[in-house]
Amino acid sequence: MFDATSEKEFPLKGYSLPLSPKGQTSIVDAPPWYYGGEVLCLTFEADEREVRALIPPPLEMGPNPGQGAVWFVEWVSASEARPDLAFINPERSLYRECFVVVGCQHNGVPGSFVSYIWVDNDFTLARGVIQGFPKKLGRIYITRLHELTPKIGGRQGGAKVKGICDVNAQRIVEGSMTFTHPSKPSELPPVRFYLMRHFPSIEDPTRPSVHELTVATVSDVKIKDVWVGDSQIKFFESPFEEVADLGPVKDQGAFFFSMGLTITGGKVIHKYV
């Protein structure tokens, strides 16, 4: 565990606030972080100008300008520092999120920039911000398929799932998928997220203390039970959100799959300050 300073008398430990004598209070433990979950990924094509407006230089428009995706995910997560977390405190190992990405590239390497993301748990909000995911809290609901529930059933042709993201007492994002056929992990679009870390100064609001682009260091990606289907995305207006400026978008199909992975940290690829 991290000793926050080299002065030997510094008494507070931890990877993130709150630091404490024993270092067990941090809202987020240090990586590696472990993830496994069910992913509903809905792809879209939006107006090129709207997508361009979301891409911070030096990132550039991607090879397929206007493309993007909405992800709804339910994660089971833990960290190396607390491998028993899901047992000791289930609340801190389970969360749902909804995020919106737009296609971009960096030095010719295509990927996606994560513009907006909402989650339903505090530790992942903090963990996201440390990585450069611009997380806010929302209430995320995703259809759970269950093969033993009559009239609902499991992953199968014709199954329908919906993700809903409700933020500050208002529905913001809705994404629906109708399963058409099973597929293979190799059919999924490649995933490379460009992220923006940003931490304001308290002395000068116009000059952030941290402002940089990063990519996560990901390993051990495993994907299973992939389904392909038809999709429908709706964005809704709000005085506190701008995601609706992307749409209406052209629906480009959806994927539903199980995924596991490890994040061991990240790499800064550009510093603004």
Cβ proximity to a copy of itself, 114 vs 228, nearer residue: 114
Smallest gap from residue 221 Cβ to a copy of itself (A):
10
Note whether 198 binds a copy of itself by CB under 8 A.
Answer: yes
Cβ proximity to a copy of itself, 137 vs 188, nearer residue: 137
Stretch that binds a copy of itself, among 47-55, 183-191, 226-234, 247-255 (CB under 8 A): 47-55
Taking the C-alpha atoms of residue 271 and residue 258, their distance in angstroms, rounded to an integer, is 34
Taking the C-alpha atoms of residue 123 and residue 141, their distance in angstroms, rounded to an integer, is 19
Q: Helix, strand, or coil here: 124?
A: helix
Query: Exactly one of 66, 69, 175, 197 binds a copy of itself (CB under 8 A); which one?
Result: 197
Contact by Cβ (8 Å): 216, 232: no
Mask of contacts with a copy of itself, 52-91, x by CB under 8 A?
Answer: xxxxxx------------------xxx-x--xx-xxxxxx
Which of 227, 232, 217 lies closest to 256 in space, CA to CA? Answer: 227
Contact by Cβ (8 Å): 132, 213: yes
Query: Exactly one of 63, 64, 152, 237 binds a copy of itself (CB under 8 A); which one?
Result: 152
Note whether 102 binds a copy of itself by CB under 8 A.
Answer: no
Taking the C-alpha atoms of residue 15 and residue 1, their distance in angstroms, rounded to an integer, is 7
Contact by Cβ (8 Å): 99, 64: no
Note whether 170 binds a copy of itself by CB under 8 A.
Answer: yes
Note whether 228 binds a copy of itself by CB under 8 A.
Answer: no
Taking the C-alpha atoms of residue 91 and residue 89, their distance in angstroms, rounded to an integer, is 5
Query: Exactly one of 46, 130, 226, 228 binds a copy of itself (CB under 8 A); which one?
Result: 130
